[in-house]
């Protein structure tokens, strides 16, 4: 016979049973009973009080991305939970495991338009892996265990628990529970042996293979298996935005980022390879450019854990379903050792051109205002390329992806599929809790910082050691770039009047400095890195700087523009 506990206590016991030690949250009426129980669990569960529930959801995402564990949010009903919708949707499209627990009105009031009642399950269902309403204390342990199992298994994602107030206070018997099977839910599909043989055969026959590395490789803890795979067959590999740290940046087979702002070589060669091998990626339109012309010359193999991704955007010749931790080595075992020297050499002229026209002017400009690239590269270097790179969305994100370097996996925390401005600051807070031993740097634009700027309060209260690098160009830069390129430079509501960020940092007791001149950059970054705790470094960036190379939307992926036409 288990202990008799209230639903809220059962929630705490169940969270501890799942290995949860940190949660991000914000209290309110319908979740108050649970917060009252939480008060007695303060020594076992570290609750981080955010300043807005959207911040809780992104912090949980940041925590999950760097730790591999499931991030947890606790919020109230009504506006508390609607404020997390953006984070839940963000976690869904980026396959990030989080569990959001939201208060709900008591079961007897459901459907009566009670104060702060909203239909959470119906609202969340389209943007999460599972949403469930707990109306009875006896269901809490089961629902929590099932939530963690669904969030973290197979292709990870968000789960929402809608926790009615009566179920928080009513009592039930508690027995620890572990759900690890759900009828009709197949988190890891069975691998067809034939697909392994067929994939190996195509790779052995290929003369110009190109591997596309996605986040699935990190989610599947298969970075070593990926390296063995590409090294044995001498295959160049490009990474998606979320897959950037799955392969060290300086690995000789790494040919850079794929897609719209990716490297010239990887995009050009996508249209020249004879075999495209996608691993744990989903052929997003930012990667493929125009679908109808995308790598039509090549045979294709797709390794994925989610059958619904196969043939969704790009039809493939061989699909290898399963966990890439096991499928990659199975294929590797059948591969012939190859070097593909000539094919790898063929990337070189593109690399040289990109280096000359795009990269050098960004990282070693001779004159003019600061460029984003030089700031990002310097931060990367002065943290020994070992820091966690968090970004917001916009030019700052694409520039970070291009100029930050990675030596360790689980180092990229960015909003890929949703492109959620305001993600960066709270996600960085979560990352400091998920990887307390690592340096966490977040690159933000002035627009994105202001979307969740209130989380500076969380940073202050927690002393969270977030190194905030504000790339201030006084514009909503990414939109301004598109206006410049596609809307005849009509800057419709993209110039932005900024507040005095030094004063803001001071008010939050966060050390701050502003860099305007290039000669001060290195010393100021060093100071930021060497100052314990949080820091805000504002960099005055060239206002009309642009991210290049760029594949214009709807164009062939190898149709890349390297600079503005004169």
Q: Which of 291, 282, 278, 242 is nearest to 262 (CA)?
A: 242
Nearer to ligand TPP, 252 or 499 (CB): 499
Helix (H) or strand (E) holding 373: helix 372-382
Q: Which of 57, 63, 61 is nearest to 22 (CA)?
A: 63
Contact 160, 149 (CB under 8 A): no
Ramachandran angles phi, psi of 289, nearest 5°: 60, -145
Nearer to ligand TPP, 287 or 435 (CB): 287
**Least CB distance to ligand TPP at residue 425 (A):** 11
**Least CB distance to ligand TPP at residue 543 (A):** 9
Contact 215, 95 (CB under 8 A): yes
**Least CB distance to ligand TPP at residue 156 (A):** 23
Residues that bind ligand TPP (CB under 6 A): 392-396, 419-422, 445-448, 471, 473, 475-479
Measured CA distances, 1 to 24, 167, 410, 563 (Å): 33, 20, 42, 71
**Least CB distance to ligand TPP at residue 534 (A):** 20
Measured CA distances, 564 to 333, 481, 516, 548 (Å): 47, 11, 25, 9
Nearer to ligand TPP, 7 or 447 (CB): 447
Nearer to ligand TPP, 6 or 473 (CB): 473
Nearer to ligand TPP, 177 or 471 (CB): 471
**Least CB distance to ligand TPP at residue 547 (A):** 8
Q: Which of 372, 358, 360 is nearest to 478 (CA)?
A: 372
**Least CB distance to ligand TPP at residue 451 (A):** 6
Crossing angle, helix 372-382 and helix 518-530, to 10 degrees? 40
Nearer to ligand TPP, 101 or 468 (CB): 468
Rounded to a whole number of angstroms, the distance between the first and last alpha carbons of the chain is: 79
Ramachandran angles phi, psi of 231, nearest 5°: -70, -40
**Least CB distance to ligand TPP at residue 42 (A):** 34
What whole-number distance in Å separates Cα of residue 182 and Cα of residue 51? 36
Find the radius of gyration of the CA atoms of the chain: 24
CB-based closest residue to ligand TPP: 445
Nearer to ligand TPP, 347 or 501 (CB): 501
**Least CB distance to ligand TPP at residue 538 (A):** 13
Contact 486, 456 (CB under 8 A): no
Nearer to ligand TPP, 189 or 365 (CB): 365
């Amino acid at each position: 016979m288990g202990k008799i506990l209230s639903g809220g206590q059962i929630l705490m016991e169940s969270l501890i049973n799942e290995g949860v030690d940190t949660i991000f949250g914000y209290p309110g009426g319908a979740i108050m009973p649970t917060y009252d129980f939480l008060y007695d669990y303060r020594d076992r569960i570290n609750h981080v009080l955010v300043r807005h529930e959207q911040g809780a959801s992104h912090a949980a995402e940041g925590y999950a991305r760097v730790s591999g564990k499931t991030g947890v949010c606790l919020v109230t009903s009504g506006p508390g939970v609607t404020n997390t919708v953006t984070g839940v949707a963000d976690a869904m499209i980026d396959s990030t495991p989080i569990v959001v627990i939201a208060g709900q009105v008591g079961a007897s009031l459901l459907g009566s338009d009670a104060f702060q009642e909203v239909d959470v399950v119906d609202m969340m269902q389209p943007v999460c892996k599972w949403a469930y309403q707990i109306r009875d204390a006896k269901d809490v342990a089961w629902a929590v265990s099932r939530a963690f199992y669904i969030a973290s298994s197979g292709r990870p994602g968000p789960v929402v628990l809608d926790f009615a107030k009566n179920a928080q206070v009513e009592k039930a018997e508690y027995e620890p529970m572990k759900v690890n099977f759900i009828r009709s839910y197949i988190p890891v599909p069975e691998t067809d042996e034939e697909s392994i043989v067929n994939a190996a055969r195509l790779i052995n026959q290929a003369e110009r293979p190109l591997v596309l590395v996605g986040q699935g490789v990190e989610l599947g803890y298969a970075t070593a298996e990926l390296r063995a795979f590409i090294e044995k067959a001498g295959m160049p590999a490009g990474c998606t935005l979320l897959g950037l740290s799955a392969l060290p940046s300086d690995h000789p087979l790494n040919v850079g980022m794929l897609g719209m702002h990716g490297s010239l070589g990887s995009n050009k060669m996508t249209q020249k390879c004879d075999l495209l091998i996608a691993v744990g990626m989903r052929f997003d339109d930012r990667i493929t450019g125009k679908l109808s012309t995308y790598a039509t010359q090549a045979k294709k193999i797709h390794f994925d854990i989610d059958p619904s991704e196969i043939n969704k955007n790009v039809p493939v010749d061989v699909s290898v379903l399963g966990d890439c931790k096991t499928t990659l080595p199975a294929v590797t075992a059948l591969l012939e050792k190859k070097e593909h020297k000539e094919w790898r050499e063929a990337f070189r002229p593109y690399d040289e051109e990109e280096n000359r026209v795009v990269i050098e002017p960004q990282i070693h400009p001779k004159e003019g205002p600061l460029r984003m690239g030089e700031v990002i590269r310097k931060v990367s270097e002065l943290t020994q390329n070992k820091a966690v790179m968090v970004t917001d969305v916009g030019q700052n994100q694409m520039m970070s992806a291009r100029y930050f370097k990675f030596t360790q996996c689980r180092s990229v925390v960015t909003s890929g599929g949703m492109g959620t401005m305001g993600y960066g600051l709270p996600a960085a807070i979560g990352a400091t809790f998920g990887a307390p031993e690592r340096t966490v740097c977040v690159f933000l634009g002035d627009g994105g910082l202001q979307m969740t700027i209130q989380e500076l309060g969380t940073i202050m209260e927690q002393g969270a050691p977030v190194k905030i690098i504000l790339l201030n160009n006084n514009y909503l830069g990414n939109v301004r770039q598109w206006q410049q390129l596609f809307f005849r430079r009509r800057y419709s509501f993209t110039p932005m009047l900024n507040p005095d960020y030094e004063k803001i940092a001071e008010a939050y007791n966060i050390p701050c400095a502003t860099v305007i001149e290039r000669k001060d950059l290195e010393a100021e970054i060093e100071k930021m890195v060497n100052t314990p705790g949080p820091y805000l470094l504002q960099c005055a960036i060239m206002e009309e700087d642009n991210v290049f190379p760029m594949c214009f939307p709807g164009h062939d992926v190898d149709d890349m523009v390297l600079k503005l036409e004169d």
